[in-house]
Each structure stands twice: as structure tokens, then as C-alpha cells.
Chain A
Amino acid sequence: MATATTTVPGGANPSAGSRRFLSRLREGDEIARLITLIFAGVVVLIVVALVYQLWRDSVLPRHKFGWHFFVTGVWDPVFDQFGALPFIYGTVVTSAVGLLIAVPLGLGAAIFLAELAPAKISDTLTFFIDLLAAVPSVIYGLLGVFILVPLLRQYGEPALGKTLGFLPLFQGPPFGVGFLAAGIVLAVMVIPFIISVSREVLLSVPREQREAALSLGATRWESTWKVVVPFARTGIFGSIFLALARALGETMAVTMVIGNTPKISASLFSPGYSIAAVIANEFTEATGDLYLQALVELGLVLFLLTFILNGLARILILLTERRGAGVHA
């Protein structure tokens, strides 16, 4: 029996001599390894093919416009002028509004769940919040169109206009649809991610930190806000990046409430457009290669943005958890 010399349970496969290889082959292990390797390789292949396809199918606008693509504000299919600025602007603004609302609320909720709530309540509430993350985007869009937009148009935006109308942010006629509506919808959609990641990160902060603060006479709040949260700061930033990456890619909910107009405006009441929304709306009707490829280039930009943000997020979260483990040791 060659089994004793072949494989390590659950671990890496040491490189084997040809005799071991043949014995593994006979027993089917090598075949199993190859088959699973092929499937794992498929994952890599899909990613490579995806990036390659995005790159190859955006060659025309990249050559024609180069970097100007990102700073031109005109999107005119009739005259073949394509500039991504209105969509980048809309994506950034709506995500910013979304985060401005979601981060304080999400962090507050995470603090409650990690620091204050008894374990059972914390787990139950987290369970429900995880369910919130499972709600499909189009359902948020449905509620946005029929509930949020009329509310904003009739009450929300006029009220904001009256009280804060001296700011250019809140000027202009209340359409209901626009950057503000999209920002609010995005806030609701990303709060679960901020809460669940921040909660885990806060839970990983070693007890000694809290206890040290409390023993020095800090109140519960002070120990949380001035000691625990700063300790977990990197991880919390990670959760924000994760949420941001999610917000950038949201398509359906945004396109249903943003007004679908490629416009750059200082006012949050103004209708606008986002990268994902314009791709969804115009992809099937983009006549002409330049038009279609301009949309693909937008997709490439979006992919790269989310790729960078997700990568940063994971690094930050990992750093915080390692830090907690390190101190504890």
C-alpha cells in the first residue's frame, strides 16, 4: 500500500517522484487532482477572458479619445462624441450621498450590536440585517419609484429647499428623481454591509482594550468611541470601501430613480446618470461600433474601480483582524 507515503490530509501536495506519481495515478488521486484543478482553472480563465473581452471591445474609443474620455462632459451618439464625465460624476455623487447617510447609521448600529446588545439580541438583529442584504436591487428600485420618489417630490425636496436652499446642493425644482433619490436608495442598500463587517471587526477588538479604558474611568461610550473604534479603524474603513464598491456597481435601483439624464449639476435635486445605469439603458440600442465600445469602456472603468476598492477593503479588514489577534497574543 502506497497510501502512507502519498498525501498529507487536507493540505498541499508535495511534489512527488515518478513512482509516487504513478501510484497516485493508479489510485485515481492524480486524476481527481487534475479534474478539480481544471475546474479551479476555469475560474481563473473566466476572469482573464472577462478582462480581455472588456479591453478588446473598447479599443475604438480608447484610441479615438484617449484620456479625454474621462474629462469630456458631452455624450452625443448622433455626432459620435462620447465623454464619460457625466456618468462618473453621477456615480461618485450618488455613492457619496449614499455613504454619507449609511456610514453614521451603519457604524452606530454596528457599535450597538457589538458593544451593547446582549449576544442573543445582537445575533437576532444581525440575522435580520443580513436578510436586508439579500433583497434584490430591482425590489429597492420598485419601492424607490413608488414610495421614495413621490415622497421626495412632494415633501422631502421642497422642505430641504426651503430650509437649506441657500446651498447650491438643494436648489432647483423638485423632480423627485435625481441624485438625492438615488443616493438614499444606495444608502439603504449598503447599510447591511457596513453593519455586518464593522460589527465583526469591532468584535475582534481584544477585551483588554475595553477593560483598560473602563478601568481608567471612561464611560461606556468613551471606551467605545475613543478606544475600541479607533483600534478597529482600519477595518471600518475596509467596510466603507466594500460598501462603496457595492454602491458603484448598483444598476437597477439607481436607473429607476436617477432620472437618466447625462447632466452635471451641483444640485442634488437634479436628474443625473450613472455608469451602470447608462450601460443598462443604452447597450441594446448602441448602433455603431464606437457607441457600443464606448459603453464597454465605461464597463471596464467600473470593473477596475470596484476591483481596486474591493482589494483595498480586504487588505484593511485583514490588517485589523490581524492586529487584534496580535495584541491578544
Chain B
Amino acid sequence: MNSKRLVCLLALAALAAGVALAQGSMLINGAGATFPYPIYSKWFDEYHKNTGVQINYQSVGSGAGIKQLLSGTVDFGASDKPMSDKQLADSKVKILHFPTVMGAVVPTYNIPGVSTELNFTPEALAGIFLGRITKWNDPAIAGVNKGVSLPGNDIVVVHRADGSGTTFIWTDYLSKVSDDWKTKVGADTSVNWPVGLGGKGNEGVAGQVKQQPNSIGYVELIYALQNNMSFGKVKNAAGVFVKADFAGVSAAAAGAAKTMPDDFRVSITNAPGKTSYPLSSFTWLLIPAQVSDAAKRDALKGFLKWMLVDGQNYAEPLSYARLPKEVVQEELKAISSIQ
């Protein structure tokens, strides 16, 4: 009995010590988009190494990020869909949008026996996700992929099960290129999908596509790259089939950079230009304009500054596009409006 008591006390003491030791550093909590999660996790890791500030980011999807921010249960949110006017009006505190990087959404597929890059027209993508095009060797797909032998298997569509900014980018693009899509489904973070399986987060969709033969899904570029998954070229507004990379994304953002509104909310899908990648988008950090805790406020502002200057260097190795110079300048000015 005595030795048992001693062991218990020692264990408690060790635990208490461990807890106390971890007490020192500051912890900031954020949640939101899975689209930029690879680079955010890299940033927060590097920032922690540099400054000791711990920013705990949970990739739960843009929808959840916005919700948690509005409930006040996290210190900041992140989304690939800018908050709507209604959401901003409903919010008890003013929310500021800070673009962080630009990324690309790619149509990724898993067709046994097909390892070449496929070309996708906007009509093909809309048809597949509307459930109209059901087989891989459909003329709409085969027509622009001459020389590739596509099987007659059924297409398994994979989409997001959760509220997603990536979904918004995908459906925003489809609404712009297909009137049918616009009327039947529309563009939002969560839509009534006509067909398909649901996956949670970019991670979930990538996981499903990777395991499910004959499937197609939409994910952020880095998820396809990091998991060695095939993804196709998409025909842009100028009629060119473009493969996603940060150059194509930067081209897409070129026009918008010059006309960026003050609140930084803008869509760059289906952008003009020969080299533009049509499924490009900014992604934003959602920061409350008023942060009462001074230490947290300074930490957030410090991170934003670091992100806009040093952080941008991490973008291209992870296939995200750096922010245009003009946007960076505007944002640096906007940081001061966080009180």
C-alpha cells in the first residue's frame, strides 16, 4: 500500500511538472480551410521555431473555421471563400480578411491503367459532377484525350462532405462555365451534390480518390503532389489546356492584383489570359479587428508581418503562388487596423 501510494504521488508530481513546464509559451488557436493547410502547418512550425509562439491550427474546413470564429471559440479563422456580406453583418465583431497565398484546385483521378495526364474541358467537368457523364470513355472526355485508351468503367465522383472553401472555388468555377450547373447546384461552401461520395477535408477527398479506382475528385494542388496522385489539365477561358502550377495561378491573379478591393475579397476563377489556370484562388486568414488580449494581438500581428515577408518564401516549394507585390503592400498597411 505504501509503495503504491508513493508511485501514485510520483506520477502526479511528474504530470504536474510537465504541465507547469508547458505553461510558459503562448498558444493561439485557429481553425479553418484545409486548402492551405500544408503551408499553414509549415508556417506555424517555422514561426514557433523562430519565436516560440505556438499557433495551433486545426484544418476542419472553411465552413467550420468561419463558424468557430463567429462563436468566438477560436482566435482566428481561415477560409478559401471570403465571408459573405450577410455573415459579416451577423458577426458580433468586425472581421478582417488577409490573403495569405494563392493556390490551385485540381481535378485528381485514379483510373487503373491510365497514368498520362488527361485534359478536361469545363463542359466535361460539369457533366461529370452533374452525373450526366457516367463513363470514363465518354466522348466528352475521350474527344480531347486522343491517344489515351480510357476504360468504359463507371466514374466514381468524390466531393467534400463538409463545408469547404475548396468546394466554393470548384463550384464557383463550374457556375461560371456551365449555366446548367449554376441553376441546378450553384456555388457555395456546401451544396446539394447530384452524385458522389463525401470525404472530409481535402485530406478526406484525396484519401478517397487514392483508394477508390475509377474515381475523380477535386483537391488543392499540393495534396495531389504530396500523394503522387494523377491530376488533369483544365481548359482555361482562352481555350488553352493548362496544368496547375504556381505560375499559372500567379497569371490568374495578375489582373485582380491591380484592382484589389480594400477588404481583399475577390474571386479569380476562370480568369482571362493564355497562361492562367482557371481554378485558382486566394485564401484568407480571418482575423477579428479587435483583440482584447494584448499579448495575443501582438503575436497575431507579428505573425502576419512575418507571413507577408518571410513566409512567402515557403509558398513555391509547396506549389502555392506568392502574393502579388501590390497585395502584400496593402496588407502590411492593413495590419495596423487590428486593435
- A residues with CB within 8 A of B: 74, 76-78, 149-150, 153, 173, 175-177, 259-261, 271, 281-282, 284-287
Task: Name the A residues within 8 Å of B163 (CB-CB).
Answer: 77, 282, 285, 287
Chain B interface residues toward A at CB < 8 A: 31, 60-61, 63-68, 70, 87, 154, 156, 161-163, 186, 188, 190-193, 196-200, 211-212
Cα separation A74 to B193 with both chains bound (whole Å): 12
Contact B70–A261 (Cβ < 8 Å): no
25 contacts between A and B (CB under 8 A): A74-B192, A77-B190, A78-B186, A78-B188, A150-B211, A153-B212, A173-B154, A173-B156, A175-B156, A175-B197, A175-B212, A260-B199, A260-B200, A261-B161, A261-B193, A261-B198, A271-B198, A284-B60, A284-B64, A285-B60, A285-B162, A287-B63, A287-B67, A287-B70, A287-B163
Q: Are A176 and B61 in contact (CB under 8 A)?
A: no
- The answer for the CA separation of A77 and B63 in the assembled complex, in Å, is 11
Q: What chain B residues lie within 8 Å of A282 (beta carbons)?
A: 162-163
Beyond A284-B67, A286-B67, whether A260 also contacts B191 by CB under 8 A is no
B67's contact among A153, A173, A259, A285, by CB below 8 Å, is which?
Answer: A285
Beta-carbon contact of B191 and A78 below 8 Å: yes
A282 to B201, CA, bound (A): 12
B63 close to A285 (CB less than 8 A): yes
Q: Give complex CA distance A78, B84 in Å.
A: 13
Report chain B residues within 8 Å CB of A176: 211-212
Contact between A285 and B64, CB atoms less than 8 A apart:
yes
Distance between Cα atoms of A286 and B71 in the complex (Å)? 11
Q: Please name the 3 residue pairs, one residue from A and one from B, whose CB atoms are nearest each other, closest first.
A: A285-B64, A285-B63, A260-B198
List the A side residues contacting B60 at CB < 8 Å.
284-285
**Residues in A whose Cβ lies below 8 Å from that of B68:** 284
A77 CA / B161 CA spacing, docked (Å): 12
Residues on B with C-beta less than 8 A from A259 are 197-198
A307 to chain B, nearest CB (A): 29
- Contact call A287/B61, Cβ cutoff below 8 A: no
Q: How many A-B residue pairs have CB under 8 A?
A: 60
Chain B, Cβ-Cβ closest to A154? B213
Q: In the bound complex, how far is the Cα of B157 from the Cα of A259, in angstroms?
A: 12
Q: How far is the CA of A259 from the CA of B64 in the complex (A)?
A: 20
User: How distant is the Cα of A173 from the Cα of B131 in the complex, in angstroms?
Assistant: 14
Which chain A residues lie closer than 8 Å to B63 at the CB level?
Answer: 285, 287
Residue among B63, B191, B196, B198 with max Cβ neighbours from chain A (10 Å): B198
Could you say which residues of chain B place their CB within 8 Å of the CB of A77? Answer: 163, 190
Shortest CB–CB separation between residue B303 and chain A, in angstroms? Answer: 23
Residues in A whose Cβ lies below 8 Å from that of B61 = 285
* Chain A proximity of B60: nearest CB distance (Å): 6
A281 / chain B contacts, CB cutoff of 8 Å: 161-162, 200
Q: For residue A74, which residues in chain B have a CB less than 8 angstroms away from its CB? A: 192
What residue of chain B has the Cβ atom nearest to residue A172's Cβ?
A: B154
Which residues of A are found within 8 Å of B66, using beta-carbon distances?
Answer: 285, 287
When distances are taken between beta carbons in the complex, the residues of chain B under 8 Å from A271 are 197-198
Q: Which of A78, A260, A287 contacts B87 (CB 8 A)?
A: A287
A253 → chain B closest CB, angstroms:
15
Find chain A residues with CB under 8 A from B193 CB.
261
Query: B211 touching A261 by the CB < 8 A rule?
Result: no
- In the assembled complex, the Cα of A67 lies from the Cα of B232 at a distance in Å of 47
Residue of B156, B161, B212 touching A260 (CB-CB under 8 A): B161
Residue of B nearest to A280 (CB): B200
5 more A-B residue pairs beyond the given contacts A175-B197, A261-B197, with a C-beta to C-beta distance below 8 A: A76-B192, A77-B163, A78-B192, A259-B197, A286-B67
Name the residue among A76, A261, A271, A286 with the largest chain B CB count within 10 angstroms: A261
- Cα–Cα distance between A175 and B153 once the two chains are bound (Å): 13
Which has the most chain B C-beta neighbours within 10 Å: A76, A284, A286? Answer: A284
Q: Which one of A173, A259, A284, A285 has the greatest number of beta carbons of chain B within 10 Å?
A: A285
Most buried by A among B154, B161, B196: B161
Closest to B69 in A: A287
Q: A303 → chain B, closest Cβ, in Å?
A: 23
Alpha-carbon distance between A282 and B67 when the two chains are bound, in angstroms: 11
| Smallest beta-carbon distance A275→chain B, Å | 15
Q: Nearest Cβ in chain B — how far from A227, in angstroms?
A: 50
Q: Is the CB of B162 within 8 A of A261?
A: no
Closest residue of chain A to B31, judged by CB?
A: A284
In whole Å, how far is B180's beta carbon from the nearest beta carbon of chain A? 18
Cα-based distance from A74 to B191 in the complex (angstroms)? 12
Cβ contacts under 8 Å, B87 to chain A:
287
Q: Who on chain A is nearest to B64 by CB?
A: A285
Q: Please state if B196 and A261 are interface contacts (CB–CB under 8 Å).
A: yes
**B199, chain A: closest CB distance, angstroms:** 7
Which residue on chain B has the smallest CB distance to residue A287? B67
B192 partner residues in chain A, CB cutoff 8 A: 74, 76, 78
Query: How far is it, in angstroms, between the C-alpha of A285 and the C-alpha of B60 when the chains are bound?
Result: 8
A residues within 8 A CB of B162? 281-282, 285
A230 and B267 CA atoms in complex are apart in Å by 69
In Å, the complex CA distance between A260 and B63 comes to 17
* B211: A residues at CB distance < 8 A: 149-150, 176
Residues on B with beta carbons closer than 8 Å to the beta carbon of A286 = 67
Residue of A nearest to B60 (CB): A284
Bound Cα distance A256, B95 (Å) = 35
Contacts of B31 in A (CB 8 A): 284
